[in-house]
Amino acid sequence: MSEHVSLPCRLPRPLAVRSCLMVMPVRPPPSAVCESLSANLLLLLLSAQTIRSCFMRCLFHTHYLRSDSHLNMPRSLQYEYFNAVLINEVDDEGNNVELGGEFILEPNDHFNNLSVNLSLSVVQVPTNMYNKDPDIVNGVYWSEALNKVFVENFERDPTLIWQYFGSAKGFFRQYPGVKWHPDEHGVIGFDCRNRKWYIQAATSPKDVVILVDVSGSMKGLRLTIARQTVSSILDTLGDDDFFNIIAYNQEVHYVEPCLNGTLVRADRANKYHFREHLDKLFAKGIGLLGDALTEAFTILGDFNSTGRGSVCSQAIMLVTDGATKMYDDVFEKYNWPERRVRIFPYLIGRESAFADNLKWMACANKGYFSQISTLADVQENVMRYLHVMSRPKVIDHEHDTVWTEAYVDSAVSAFLLILGLFFCVLMQKNQGILLGVAGTDIPLQELMKLIPKHMLGIHGYAFAITNNGYILIHPDLRPLYQEGQKKRRKPNYSSVDLSEVEWEDKDDILRNAMVNRRTGSFSMDVMKTVDKGRRLLRMHNDYFYTDIKGTPFSLGVALSRGHGKYFFRGNVSVDAGLRDLEQPDVALADEWTYCNTEEVHEHRHLTQIQAIKLFMTGKRPHLKCDRELIQEVFFDAVVTAPLRTYWTGLALNKSENSDKGVEIAFLGTRTGLSHSVLGLSLPCVLLRDFLTAEDKEGVFNADHFPLWYKRAAEQVPGTFVYSIPFSTGTHTLHCTTFQDEADFFQRKFWTACRQCSALDGKCSFSCDNDDINCYLIDNNGFILVAEDTTQVLSVYYCSQRTRGKTIMVPCDTEYPAFVSERTIRETSGSVDCEGCIRSFVIQQIPSSNLFMIVVDNKCDCSMVPDLGGTKEWACFSLKCDRLKSQKDRRKPESCHPFHPEENSIECGSATRPHSSSHQLCFL
């Protein structure tokens, strides 16, 4: 274990010689920085990705779908394809299995050394579908033409990761080709059609009421199939959709009673909540479908009239084992003649005595009828409604571009955060039939490279949100958690609302302004946690925000007052800057982009320093580099160069007196430049990274300055920051930094505690006394030194109450965080331990972040009860309030609820009962 000491930058005296070079011009206005960053992000998103994706769409549509003949494979042709699961698999005799074959895979550093094939794509087919189904094979055959487009796209822009096509038939074509492996349970549950990106691209936003028959006839297997059907319907709903579930027999029951008469957003948390309630359904009584339909139409009408919900498509999903009549009186009252609400009946079971009534309901209300006999039939039958909902968009020839929220890709770069996907919808000519959705991925790292880190200050950061208020990028978005040796995705990481991280904005002023795509500014006091929530920083943030044109995203920049307003720049020549930058003790932050070396293949082998040299000397003028940042790096390199001489003296002094305790010293600057120590014992390779291993995990969050840098920056100038790292790995610290061995530091502390001012040097009262305990804590209350070494890095409580902490539910976790008040130098107090008074004294140690605590040890306070008593939280009301809350959101601009040319007769092979007295014209 090592002890760390950080000193806010006060450069040693030799450096003052060059201080005359420094000037302090004011930074560009923060609003200008925000708008400039927004424009740069727009250029990347649109010019780099939109052109490629639309090129793929147009080429595919124009050349390969010009006539229907291209969609049908010749019957005489025996066609096989590379199945993503079966490639390179062999049977017991060593022969390639069918649909497998030899498929060349080679490690590729762009894909984190994942073995891929850059010439071909592979095809994945859902587990519940037959690999050689004629529809599957035919679709794979005509979509093979995409291979050429995929390859050309990647050659044009090597920063691309995955490109793919998801077919309405269920198969998924992916480039580059890669082998798929089952999960730890031996299953591959992926079906592209129930992914958010597919649903959002294929259909318009919708409000959905799901009616579930729980009458007595639904007992047993039928109710089991009904539950699975409802769950599968929930899978097809996305963040722009709203829903509720109603169970009915002789009464109407809301599955979630607190949501009576309303709809909720179909985010992951809400869908999970409703799934838990499905298991509580049981069948009894008779089914009064008319009352349930009336309730569903009423909800949809009321919700739509208030402007809430999707304000686009509406549907009622009916899950039942039959209907004794057609309920045309209900439809006439609530849905005709406009037929704004589509009806999708799902007949559960093999019997079809009442099927005709359900078929008629679907056809009379622009829906689709399906019959589900077994659990295996559920998914395919549920998916059919998507084809109906997509008809208007297809007939309108609308190739809407859809951006989804960020998601984690575990296959590339060890959990790479990917920007929501960009897709185009493909259609079969003149038939209104959805063929599928095509798209590509954009790594958020590419966006992060555009953020001018050096212009935002130590605590400044950029962030972006979606039209629903969900975080796209933010320092406090941490999508993974550790489970044993593995990292796993947090369940709701893709739907974290901005209000959950900028929680001091109680009225959602910042959030709502960004959701509504406004441009402006906002300020508030904030408390930011660092070191994984263990430490707290108080600051005042100024926020500047604007929209990213042509996308559903809004961008914000947060600047902490006192940082980032000024910057240093001097008249440093290129030769002088390069001379000091290329010294062996100098390194640049690997995670910062001084020059873009990824865009051109021949530049990828270059280090940042090599690229800077080629650019600044004019040998590679076409390299994309940040000239302003490089000038500031040159200035830092020149001004801090005398440290080599200064630290060499320290090293020589250490060799003469080995009891100094200093093992590492180095300096870091706000441009990402660091100086390592020359001549000290530990290998310099430990100092090559500006960010630590833990910091690198969050690099996509724009948390661009490490913990040690931030803590030192908040300390009073000229004072030291002491800390013991929580991790076991070596930790590097800021500005002029020293790393002491912990045992040496503790020995120094106990020696100092025993020294007294008496003439004979003897102490009448010291930490050796059995009546007191002595502790050394830091400014966040963590114990650095204690007689009981097991207490080190625990939080010191004067009352010693660390158990039985109440945690708020359902989603909020409360934990203690402490920060010292700098103006208080000394204080004292006492704790009542059941009649025994325990006294303590706390005194600040000058020029540091440390405090000495002396505690009276006469009382045993380990059994002191919680002074606050037992608290009972109103868990139900908290859950209900959260479910009901409807935060502002900006509705997608595209909406295609109906089209007059829809062929509504294609509604599940419907027949019209002769008993109907109404003549219907199906449109």
3-class SS letters over 760-803: CCCCCCCCCCCCEEEEEEECCCEEEEECCHHHCCCECCCCCCCC
The amino acid occupying position 827 is T
User: Could you tell me what percent of the chain has a pLDDT over 90?
Assistant: 31
Q: Where is average pLDDT lowest: 68-72, 298-302, 699-703?
A: 699-703
Q: In the prediction, which pLDDT does 195 show?
A: 85
User: Tens digit of pLDDT for each residue in 837-881?
Assistant: 888 899 999 888 899 999 888 787 765 444 333 333 334 445 677
Q: Where is average pLDDT lowest: 12-16, 698-702, 737-741?
A: 12-16
Q: In the prediction, which pLDDT does 201 show?
A: 85
Most confident of 141-150, 561-570, 687-696: 141-150
User: Tens digit of pLDDT for each residue in 189-227?
Assistant: 889 988 888 888 888 999 999 999 999 999 999 999 999
Q: 497, 508 in Cβ contact below 8 A?
A: no
Residue given tokens 């599955």 in the structure block: 255
206: exposed, middle or buried (Cβ count in 10 Å: 0-12, 13-18, 19+)? buried
User: Could you tell me what percent of the chain has a pLDDT over 70?
Assistant: 75
Q: In the prediction, which pLDDT does 529 show?
A: 80
Q: In the prediction, which pLDDT does 436 show?
A: 86
Q: Where is average pLDDT lowest: 251-265, 524-538, 729-743, 906-920?
A: 729-743
Please give the average per-residue pLDDT across 406-410, as a whole number: 70
Higher-confidence residue of 728 and 779: namely 779
Q: In the prediction, which pLDDT does 904 show?
A: 73
- SS3 breakdown of the chain: % helix, strand, coil, rounded to 5? 30, 25, 45
As given in the structure block, the two tokens for residue 439 are 């798209």
Please give the average per-residue pLDDT across 907-911, as a whole number: 64
Sheet architecture: strand order including 471-473: 471-473, 461-465, 554-560, 535-547, 520-530
Q: In the prediction, which pLDDT does 328 show?
A: 95
- For the range 249-254, what are the long-range contacts, defined as Cβ-Cβ under 8 Å and sequence gap of 24 or more? 249/213, 249/214, 249/215, 249/216, 249/283, 249/284, 249/285, 249/286, 249/287, 249/288, 250/215, 250/285, 250/286, 250/287, 250/288, 251/285, 251/288, 251/291, 252/291, 252/292, 252/295, 253/214
What is the spatial distance between Cα 780 and Cα 803, in angstroms, rounded to a whole number?
19
Q: Where is average pLDDT lowest: 43-57, 182-196, 623-637, 815-829?
A: 43-57
What is the spatial distance between Cα 748 and Cα 754, in angstroms, rounded to a whole number?
10
Please give the average per-residue pLDDT across 820-839, as a whole number: 83
Q: How far apart are the first and last CA of the chain?
A: 76
The amino acid occupying position 508 is D
Q: In the prediction, which pLDDT does 274 show?
A: 94
As given in the structure block, the two tokens for residue 130 are 């037959």
Taking phi first (over 0 means left), then psi (-120 to 50 degrees means alpha), and beta for anything else, what does residue 494 get?
Answer: alpha
Please give the average per-residue pLDDT across 728-753, as a whole number: 57
Q: Is the pLDDT of residue 810 over 60?
A: no
User: Tens digit of pLDDT for each residue in 312-361?
Assistant: 999 999 999 999 999 999 999 999 999 999 999 999 999 888 899 999 99
Selection from 460, 474, 452 nearest residue 559 by Cα: 460
Q: In the prediction, which pLDDT does 262 show?
A: 93
Selection from 795, 862, 799 nearest residue 832 by Cα: 799
pLDDT band for 728, please (50, 70, 90 cuts). Answer: very low
Q: In the prediction, which pLDDT does 349 show?
A: 94
Q: Where is average pLDDT lowest: 373-382, 501-510, 643-652, 899-908?
A: 643-652
Please give the average per-residue pLDDT across 151-155, as a whole number: 85
What is the secondary structure of 840-868 as a DSSP string? EEEEEPTTSSEEEEEEE-SS--TTPPPTT
Selection from 887, 879, 885 nearest residue 256 by Cα: 879
| DSSP H helix total and E strand total for the chain | 21, 36
Q: Is the pLDDT of residue 581 over 50?
A: yes
Q: In the prediction, which pLDDT does 881 show?
A: 74
Please give the average per-residue pLDDT across 122-141, as a whole number: 90
Helix, strand, or coil here: 186? coil
Please give the average per-residue pLDDT across 874-895, as a whole number: 72
Q: Is the pLDDT of residue 523 over 90?
A: yes
- The pTM score is 0.80
Most confident of 293-307, 428-442, 878-892: 293-307
602: exposed, middle or buried (Cβ count in 10 Å: 0-12, 13-18, 19+)? exposed
Q: Could you tell me whether strands 416-428 and 402-403 are parallel, antiparallel, or unpaired per DSSP bridges?
A: antiparallel
Contacts of 97 (CB under 8 A, 6+ apart): 86, 89, 90, 91
State the chain's mean pLDDT as an integer: 78
Residues facing 317 on adjacent strands: 210, 344
Q: In the prediction, which pLDDT does 225 show?
A: 97
Q: Is the pLDDT of residue 182 over 80?
A: yes
Q: Is the pLDDT of residue 889 over 60?
A: yes
Please give the average per-residue pLDDT across 720-743, as a whole number: 53
Please give the average per-residue pLDDT across 140-160, as a whole number: 84
Q: Is the pLDDT of residue 233 over 50?
A: yes
